[in-house]
Amino acid sequence: MSRQQHYEFQEWWNKQRENHSSELLFNDKSETPNFLAVELGSAVGNHDLRVDKERTRSARQIKHVWLLKLIQIASSLAYVTTGFVSLVKTVNRRISADSPSERLLYRFETRFYRVIKVFLVIVVLLLVFELLAYSRGWHFSPPTVRRAADLVEYVYAHWLEIRANYLAPPLQNLTNVCILLFLVQSVDRLLLVLGCFWIKFKRIKPVAEFEYSSDSGDVNVEDYPMVLVQIPMCNEREVYQQSISAICVQDWPRERMLVQILDDSDDTTVQALIKVEVSKWQHRGVHIVYRHRLVRTGYKAGNLKSAMNCDYVKDYEFVAIFDADFQPAPDFLKKTLPHFKGNDELALVQTRWCFVNKDENLLTRLQNINLTFHFEVEQQVNGVFINFFGFNGTAGVWRIKALEDCGGWLERTTVEDMDIAVRAHLAGWKFIYLNDVKCMCELPESYAAYKKQQHRWHSGPMQLFRLCFMDIIRSKVSFLKKANLIFLFFLLRKLVLPFYSFTLFCIILPLTMFLPEAQLPAWVVCYIPGIISVLNILPAPRSFPFIVPYLLFENTMSVTKFNAMISGLFKLGSSYEWVVTKKLGRSSESDLLACAETEEETPIHRSSLESSLSDSRKKRKNCLYRKELALAFILLTASLRSLLSAQGIHFYFLLFQGVTFLVVGLDLIGEQVS
């Protein structure tokens, strides 16, 4: 009985519980019981109700999740937009925040940049076109004009005909010319290296007729010629003290030496500091004078010319010239001046530069490779075999009679050192290079300073070549000397090198990716440049780990050198503007202190030197270089195109070269950016 009652109660309870569920299933709002609905609901109603609740809950959760995602996307877009706007403002500020001289250079470079920008747009459009063709399989079966199915295929078929018949042939001819120039320049580089090996093997070096004794006890003053030492400087706050100290402690009779501080500074604070330093050494008995020009005409050449017009210069036989960041050893004059004895045709003794900050960063390491090759190979070989080379502007000793004989310092170019060397050579004078006499100096540590220096060094020779070409033709020197000056000294090493480097690796190579009918062999892209890089790095064997960065960086600098060469050759932009290379005052402070403190009168305190140096080492902001960035995108775009055609060596070269341009364009090489 109890079991039957339990069954009836359970049935009633189920009916009451499932009324709501049955209404949902059949949309029946009447109170009339529906036994079919009750039976169905009793079977599945509990499960359906739970599913509906879960579905309702899931829909709400999904809605909230999507709202959160939309909020995150909106905030991310706002952050990216704000960052992009600030980046554009920073770019404009850093590009436009230049000095007046830099703005003049900027106006000229804008023309060159516009050409590169147009080239970039063309390359990007060609890449888009090629990607479209690749997606349709036209690389495997090129379409023809007659069988074109649509307008795009018709245009691409016409492009293939124009590319093969009209564009590729002149590009191939230009490629062949650049390859020929590249091979000629490579042969010249190889001959220079072989000449250096011959000098080392035969142990050939200039030998003086006598040597000065290092014993200062018994000195005959008459055996020491009268020497004028000149230090031209301009706003050299960081290095003036150490350069003056290095000159004033020269092991030379004081009554036979006069030091001229030729200050062109327009900063009155720097002028006062230099005057104090000069006064200090005057009280120690050193013959030193301070000269300041009110009008800085002619830059360094005008400064030196003004100093040579002093009446007392006629009492001196030789003049030694040092830039403000150079610190010669105390025996510098004793090692250089004996070579003039008994050699009346000798006009110049040039010594080697040695760099105190060559390991400071990657930029200084790469500069050290170039300049080590220049002094160890180029200057030494030219000095031994033809007794002529370009004067480096500092760390050299001139015979004053030779300077006067060739017309003295002229203000017509920004490479007054090369100008006077060429005129002295045409007048019949000879030069000697001493590779074993080294003079400490400082390399520019920032890319901005290095770029300005290289612009002056490559625009000036073209100015000089244009001015003195007829003088070379009309001179009385032999035909071989004329040919050496015109074809080797100027054309091959000053004009051809930057021309083919920029044209071949920055213009022709990317174009051959989009015009495959014009071929640039792999040995031109990789193998020969690799061999030349090995030859360049031989004089600095410790730099072999940097051979790949050196090769890529030299190609990157070709845009600056090409721009400078064109501006100097055609008198464009600021080719006559002189920008002083920024120094940081790293040149052997401790060595100079040790030398100077040997003087018993008034020792130089370390604190004063460190204070002047600490002021100069200020944190700087990195710059952005538009030409380098544009060329980076051109090369990276070309690397994508070469990837489609599976050109291995070309792809890797374009990729790494494009990344190098990008790094340089973002100013991530050189002095560390805070």
Q: What is the dihedral of CA 231, 235, 237, 238, to 10 degrees?
A: -70
Which pLDDT does position 174 carry in this prediction?
A: 96
Which pLDDT does position 8 carry in this prediction?
A: 61
Which pLDDT does position 329 carry in this prediction?
A: 95
Q: Are 563 and 436 in contact (CB under 8 A)?
A: no
| Cα distance between residue 273 and residue 27, in whole Å | 101
Which pLDDT does position 576 carry in this prediction?
A: 64
Q: How many CB atoms lie within 10 A of CB 132?
A: 12
| CA-to-CA separations, 514 to 145, 168, 505, in angstroms, rounded | 20, 10, 14
560: left (phi over 0), alpha (psi -120 to 50) or beta: alpha
Q: Which DSSP letter does residue 150 get?
A: S
Q: Are 90 and 622 in contact (CB under 8 A)?
A: no
Helix runs in 475-527, H state only: 479-483, 497-502, 509-514, 522
Active site residues: 264, 417
Which pLDDT does position 138 carry in this prediction?
A: 80
User: What values do phi and psi take at 621, rounded to 5?
Assistant: -100, 140
| Cα distance between residue 100 and residue 578, in whole Å | 12
Tokens of 475: 């001179």
| Cα distance between residue 22 and residue 43, in whole Å | 11
Cα torsion angle, 3, 4, 9, 11, sign: positive
Q: How many CB atoms lie within 10 A of CB 515?
A: 18
Q: Which of 643, 619, 494, 645 is nearest to 188 (CA)?
A: 494
The residues of the chain scoring below 70 in pLDDT are: 1-59, 87-109, 216-218, 573-578, 587-622, 646, 671-674
Q: Are 251 and 224 in contact (CB under 8 A)?
A: no
Q: Which of 558, 579, 520 is nearest to 101 (CA)?
A: 579
Q: How many CB atoms lie within 10 A of CB 441?
A: 25
In the block, tokens 């990716």 appear at 513
Which pLDDT does position 168 carry in this prediction?
A: 95
